[in-house]
């Protein structure tokens, strides 16, 4: 199984660009999954130093990823290329909404308001 995991608000409960406090329950779960052979992808909007800090922080928690903001090599080989969207079995993200819950979108407050 391939699990794609977000950082801010998911692995780390701190305010961006800080790291921590840790979501220890999720981190322990992901380490267990990796130990049984699952693949882990860090899927985050972080880049540059903020991304490096997040990756190093995860390593300090004992969490090491098979890919960071990218598909794992097996997927790239299987499909003959690499897309911008990662391919995984499960996405774990504080902003995720399961397809069966899409009706709840109407009650959500938007993060951004766009003015035209």
**Span 48-82, pLDDT tens digits:** 999 999 999 999 999 999 999 999 999 999 999 99
| Dihedral angle of Cα 30, 23, 46, 99, to the nearest 10 degrees | 70
Do you know the residue count of the chain? 116
Alpha-carbon distances of 28 from 36, 44, 84, 93, rounded to whole Å: 13, 19, 28, 16
Inside any domain, residue 70? yes
Residue 113 has pLDDT above 70, yes or no: no
Inside any domain, residue 90? yes
Domain total in the chain: 1
pTM of the model: 0.85
**In the predicted model, what is the mean pLDDT of residues 14-40?**
95
Inside any domain, residue 115? no
Inside any domain, residue 73? yes
Domain range for 10 is 2-107
Inside any domain, residue 88? yes
CATH of the domain at 102: 3.40.50.1000
Torsion sign across C-alpha atoms 105, 93, 35, 21: negative
Residue 12 has pLDDT above 90, yes or no: yes
Inside any domain, residue 112? no
Inside any domain, residue 62? yes
């Amino acid at each position: 199984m391939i699990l794609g995991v977000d950082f801010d608000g998911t692995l780390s409960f701190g305010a961006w660009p800080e790291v921590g406090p840790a979501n220890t329950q999720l981190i322990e779960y992901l380490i267990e999954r990796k130990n049984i052979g699952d693949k882990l992808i860090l899927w985050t909007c972080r880049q540059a130093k903020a991304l490096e800090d997040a990756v190093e922080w995860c390593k300090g928690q004992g969490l090491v990823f098979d890919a960071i903001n990218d598909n794992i090599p097996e997927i790239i080989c299987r499909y003959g290329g690499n897309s911008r969207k990662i391919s995984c079995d499960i996405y774990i993200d504080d902003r995720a909404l399961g397809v069966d819950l899409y009706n709840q979108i109407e009650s959500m407050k938007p993060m951004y308001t766009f003015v035209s």
